[in-house]
Structure 1
Amino acid sequence: MPRTASCSCGQLRIEVNGELRGVGICHCLACQQRTGSAFAALASFAAPFRVTGTATEYLRTGDQGARFRFRFCPICGTTLFHTEEGEEGHVSVAVGAFADPAFPGPTVSVYDCRRHPWVILPPGTTAFDKDPP
């Protein structure tokens, strides 16, 4: 089933047609700064996906050397999605950008070592101190 996520102003959109691979939350300091929140909630989808609108990109290197290309709206600033270099077969989309309260919850939590103590994980969530191996 295709799903569409958009930025706050609607200029940038991504339609994902591939299978939902999983939903996770990241508590790393880079994601906290990027989102302005205590964590980032991301949904990973298999290709194909289609982007409409204009995006600005920001390339960040993770703790283990992976390079992530974040795309955000140059008008409203919403970080909508990102891809990992060398992993072109999937895309990670900000869960909130789907504007769907019924969207599936996270099953994985990464960088739990940086999780704010008041953030309570949903029951059954698998937590990793940093990135999983």
Structure 2
Amino acid sequence: MQSRTAACCCGQLRVEVQGEPVAVGLCHCFACQRRTGSVFAALAAFRPPYKVFGRASEYVRTGDQGARFRFRFCPVCGTNLFHTEEGCEDRGIAVAVGAFADPDFPPPTDSVYDCRRHSWVQLPPGPTTYEKDPD
């Protein structure tokens, strides 16, 4: 089974995942825009097992539908590397696609919070779009 490693800017924090992503998605919600400093977040979901190397700081945010997400970021360089949903850690992990530094990474399959997507952002062909979060 193929493994992939995502890393922060300074390399202190890394996460190794196994196999292909379950899903690759874009999120245009305002929280993700603020969290990433970009106009959307690109995330890849992986099933366990995964391994974390290095130290992480954490930030917990409650989503629009009440779910609590625990974001992990590097305390040295500040890169927001991955997150899990509290109470659902056995379902897997969501990793920032850019942290894989792989231009051949699979494209997004879903785009959520399309109602908050910047009008000038053009999606690639293929993803299913949702006005908000479908969960």
TM-score of the superposition, structure 1-length normalised? 0.98
AA matched with 1:26 = C
Identify which range, 9-18 or 23-32, moves more after superposition.
9-18
Residue from 86, 93, 96 that aligns with 2:95: 93
Q: CA deviation at 1:130?
A: 0.3
Instruction: Give 1:53's aligned residue.
Output: 54
In the alignment, the residues of structure 1 paired with residue 102 and residue 20 of structure 2 have an alpha-carbon distance, to the nearest angstrom, of 17
- Check conservation: 1:18, 1:47, Cα contact below 8 A: no
Report if aligned partners of 1:71, 1:82 keep a CA contact under 8 Å in 2.
Answer: yes
Task: Judge which range, 83-92 or 56-65, deviates more.
Answer: 83-92
Q: What is the alpha-carbon distance in structure 2 between the residues aligned to residue 18 and residue 63 of structure 1?
A: 30
Structure 1 counterpart SS, 2:22: strand
Alignment gaps of 5+ in structure 2:
none
Residue of structure 1 in register with 2:10 after alignment: 9
Q: How does 1:29-108 map to 2 (within 5 A)?
A: 29-88=30-89, 89-108=91-110
Partner of 2:121: 119
Measure how far apart 1:122 and its partner are: 1.1
For the 8 Å contact 1:18–1:48, the answer to whether it is kept is no
Tell me the equivalent position of 1:129. Answer: 131
Which residue identity lines up with residue 109 of structure 2 in the other structure?
T
Deviation, 1:19, is 4.3
* TM-score computed with the length of structure 2 as normaliser: 0.96
- Partner Cα separation in structure 2 for residue 104 and residue 27 of structure 1: 19
Large movers: runs of 4+ above 4 Å: none
Structure 1: gaps of 5 or more residues: none
CA deviation string 1:106-132 (max 9, x = no partner): 010000000001111111210000001
Opposite residue 120 of structure 1, the aligned amino acid is: Q
Q: Work out the percentage of aligned pairs sharing the same amino acid.
A: 71
